[in-house]
Chain A
Amino acid sequence: MVDEKRLRDEVKKTISRDDVKYVVGYEKGTYGFQATPCFAYKPEDADKFIFSPLCVHNLAVFPMLEEKPPLRKGEEPDTRKIGVVVKGCDSRAIVQIIQEKGLDREKVVIIGIPCTGVIDPKKIKDKFPGHIKNVEVKDEDDKFIITVDGKTQKIPKEELMPDKCKTCEYPTPVLYDILIGKEIKSTKKEGYDEVASFEKKSLKDRWDYWEKQFEKCIRCYACRNACPLCYCKECMVDQLNPQWVRRSVNLSENTAWNLLRAFHLAGRCIGCGQCERACPMDIPLMKLNKKIEKEIKEMFEYIPGINAEEKPLLAMFKPDDPEEFIL
């Protein structure tokens, strides 16, 4: 269990600093099993902060959403820092962005929380359907203790955790300024079992599966906008001159969009699952990203989001990179 009081105290201390603009963390949602991002601009705002297994979002997307509106005459730009509350996986996103020089290390104050697993909102909604009013979730060893409208249940974590938590190798934030709690060593290993079992299918079966999935896509770009690592000023699909991906919605363009997005996250996706959670049509986007993660680990021995000093995957090369496919 995470010490919420300590979290609030640290946030209060951080926001009281002169050089911090705001701190973003989690607060209680408006219904059911929701937690929602919360912004603290003053020390009093820190009292709303919580951390429970319902806090599944990746807050690393917010430092990248900073807008720079045009300044009035004589006005100086606001260069204060932003504080972010991160779990293990989220911190890798920030490290990856620092590695790519998308963000300065000095621009963020990272408040890390060692995480023992969160709850997938879709799985718990299926388990507790209907009109629920009061919800409280705690975690204890390998079970979640869920109290819904007075009734308490203990459910094994394996049943409610998203897939990313089941193979989490970095429960403690990789980079942090403040750590709430003690470091946790990982007991799990990512074996890429799902990728391996999908690869047993024939080429035709694979395409049949993905064709059905890509046909569902409505090109809302929620996957792109919710992803902390999709922060291009002009996305390739918004480019009109030349237009690479048309705006009409059909299998051809949807396939192009999904494949290109997966490729552009090669070596950058840290597997937080935000895209899959944001997708309204339940397309299994993490399958594509996990496959690329597996390949780059095997081919280039590169793991995204671990070392902020490393060079990004596709910006460097090794003379002995695999080239058996080259004629």
Chain B
Amino acid sequence: MDKMILSKSDFPKVITEIIKKNNVYAPVKNNDTIIFDQIKKPSEMNLDFCNSKVPPKKLLFHQTETLFKFTPGTKAKIESVDINENNVIFGIRPCDAKSLAILDHAFQGDFEDPYFLKRRKNTILIGLSCNKPELNCFCTSFDDSPASSKYVDILFTDIGDKYYVEIKNDKGKQLTKNISNLLKPATENDTKKRKEVEQKAINMISRHQKTEGIAYKLDKIFENPYWKKVAFKCVGCGTCTYLCPTCHCFDIQDETTLTKGARVRVWDTCMNPEYTLQASGYNPRPARTNRVRNRVYHKYNYYPKNYDVIACVGCGRCIDLCPVNIDIIDVVTRAGEVKP
């Protein structure tokens, strides 16, 4: 791993260079909301944020994805969609970067999803460490750190008047080939400063979720009335699923006009009763209790059992935005304490 220093005054030059050959997505302020959007100039970026409203999974797992186009009739044809992009996501937080690695398991299991995986292969992640985690951030509950470089290709850490740049692999080296003259090797002082910034951020995280042995504990309390208490507040709005960086449920619809059409994949939410409604009219998850319990189990029991990783990264979006204050930190910590 290369450890370099980049002064903040040289930073726009790096972005301008990367924009030349790639689609660069960075945090952008749109009407008081920070979202990841494509930028054409470094001045469009806004790095004064804790985390974006919509997680960057949207850039790889599009909300509306055309699977293929078709024209009906006797001369029918099907046209598959080509994904040929070189993407760079700048400013992705370590928690969101981990979420992309978690999504890999879902899209790479028995069937490899060509759309997500092609984009994933052609996307380079430049992470930005958190200097000031917010009230509901809890990545440290999963043995992660707000300045972790584990799931990104390059990591930027803001250490005052310069960025500490860690280039992890060949992808990152290739990307920064043309501006390597702007990067200077990091001194011991710089490395010390970076460690201090990371420790300060870790100390700022005030809320913790108890996750030891949670998969095992959850196994024992599936039928427990605890879930009814948790789920009764839920109004089924679906906000948690749409803004969760690891949620990946989808629906496939055909959209047609009289002369042409396409098959489209769109995001869906398991909090909708229609999600599991079968054609016979039977619904295996008829009540909110079933659906809320399913969501918690999917993240903290089914995923760890299948792929050895808890499918929650501690970004805190669901806690910030739940209109009835269903707090996943609280729910899971208490679930671990329920006597079976």
Touching chains A and B, CB distance < 8 Å: yes
Using CB atoms and an 8 Å cutoff, list the residues of chain A in contact with chain B: 29-32, 34-39, 57, 61, 65, 67, 69-70, 130-133, 212-213, 216, 218, 220-222, 225-226, 238, 243, 246-250, 274, 277-278, 280-282
Check if B329 sits within 8 Å of A30, measured CB to CB: yes
| Of listed A70, A246, A247, A280, residue having the most chain B CB within 10 A | A280
Contact stretch, chosen from B77-85, B121-129, B229-237, B297-305: B229-237
Check if B325 sits within 8 Å of A248, measured CB to CB: no
Check if B237 sits within 8 Å of A36, measured CB to CB: no
Given A222-B323, A225-B236, A248-B264, output 14 extra A-B contacts at Cβ < 8 Å.
Answer: A37-B233, A37-B324, A39-B229, A65-B288, A131-B204, A216-B30, A220-B241, A220-B269, A238-B274, A246-B255, A248-B253, A249-B267, A278-B239, A282-B31
Closest-by-CB residue of A relative to B241 is A220
Check if B242 sits within 8 Å of A220, measured CB to CB: yes
Q: How far, in angstroms, from A327 to B255 measured CA to CA in the complex? A: 36
| Of listed B30, B32, B236, residue having the most chain A CB within 10 A | B236
Using CB atoms and an 8 Å cutoff, list the residues of chain B in contact with chain A: 30-33, 53-54, 63-64, 134-136, 204, 206-207, 229, 232-233, 235-239, 241-243, 251, 253, 255, 264, 266-267, 269, 272, 274, 286-288, 319, 321, 323-327, 329-330
A77 CB, nearest partner CB in chain B, Å: 15
B279 CB, nearest partner CB in chain A, Å: 11
Closest-by-CB residue of A relative to B264 is A248
Q: Point out the residues of chain A lying under 8 angstroms from B330, CB to CB.
A: 30
Q: Point out the residues of chain A lying under 8 angstroms from B233, CB to CB.
A: 36-39
Q: How far, in angstroms, from A221 to B33 measured CA to CA in the complex? A: 19
B27 CB, nearest partner CB in chain A, Å: 15
For this complex, 14 residue pairs linking A to B, each with C-beta atoms less than 8 Å apart, are A30-B327, A31-B319, A35-B325, A37-B324, A38-B233, A39-B232, A57-B323, A67-B286, A132-B135, A216-B31, A220-B269, A221-B272, A222-B238, A277-B323
Check if B207 sits within 8 Å of A31, measured CB to CB: yes
Closest-by-CB residue of B relative to A253 is B64
| Of listed B207, B324, B329, residue having the most chain A CB within 10 A | B324
Q: How far, in angstroms, from A32 to B272 measured CA to CA in the complex? A: 29
Asked whether A36 and B324 contact (CB < 8 A) given A221-B238, A222-B237, the answer is yes
Q: How far, in angstroms, from A35 to B324 measured CA to CA in the complex? A: 8
Q: Point out the residues of chain B lying under 8 angstroms from A132, CB to CB.
A: 135
Q: How far, in angstroms, from A138 to B321 measured CA to CA in the complex? A: 24
Check if A282 sits within 8 Å of B33, measured CB to CB: yes
Check if B33 sits within 8 Å of A218, measured CB to CB: no
CB within 8 A of B235: which of A29, A65, A216, A248?
A: A65
Check if A67 sits within 8 Å of B232, measured CB to CB: no
Asked whether A57 and B327 contact (CB < 8 A) given A67-B288, A238-B274, A250-B64, the answer is no
Q: How far, in angstroms, from A131 to B31 measured CA to CA in the complex? A: 25
A202 CB, nearest partner CB in chain B, Å: 20
Q: How far, in angstroms, from A248 to B252 measured CA to CA in the complex? A: 10
Interface residues of A, dominant DSSP: loop
Q: How far, in angstroms, from A143 to B310 measured CA to CA in the complex? A: 45
B136 CB, nearest partner CB in chain A, Å: 7
Check if B287 sits within 8 Å of A281, measured CB to CB: no
Q: Point out the residues of chain A lying under 8 angstroms from B324, CB to CB.
A: 36-37, 57
Closest-by-CB residue of B relative to A248 is B64
CB within 8 A of A248: which of B242, B243, B255, B269?
A: B255
Check if B323 sits within 8 Å of A249, measured CB to CB: no
Check if A278 sits within 8 Å of B323, measured CB to CB: yes
A55 CB, nearest partner CB in chain B, Å: 11
Q: Point out the residues of chain B lying under 8 angstroms from A248, CB to CB.
A: 64, 253, 255, 264, 266
Q: Point out the residues of chain B lying under 8 angstroms from A243, CB to CB.
A: 253
Closest-by-CB residue of B relative to A68 is B286
Q: How far, in angstroms, from A247 to B264 measured CA to CA in the complex? A: 9
Check if A222 sits within 8 Å of B207, measured CB to CB: no
Q: Point out the residues of chain A lying under 8 angstroms from B255, CB to CB.
A: 246, 248
Check if A226 sits within 8 Å of B237, measured CB to CB: yes
Check if A221 sits within 8 Å of B237, measured CB to CB: yes
A279 CB, nearest partner CB in chain B, Å: 8
A315 CB, nearest partner CB in chain B, Å: 27
Q: Point out the residues of chain A lying under 8 angstroms from B243, CB to CB.
A: 220, 280
Check if A222 sits within 8 Å of B239, measured CB to CB: yes
Asked whether A130 and B135 contact (CB < 8 A) given A220-B238, A225-B235, the answer is yes
Q: How far, in angstroms, from A39 to B225 measured CA to CA in the complex? A: 14
8 nearest CB pairs, A to B: A36-B325, A222-B237, A225-B237, A30-B327, A220-B242, A278-B323, A248-B64, A222-B239
Check if B323 sits within 8 Å of A274, measured CB to CB: yes
Check if A246 sits within 8 Å of B253, measured CB to CB: yes
Closest-by-CB residue of A relative to B135 is A131
Check if A218 sits within 8 Å of B253, measured CB to CB: no
Check if A67 sits within 8 Å of B54, measured CB to CB: no
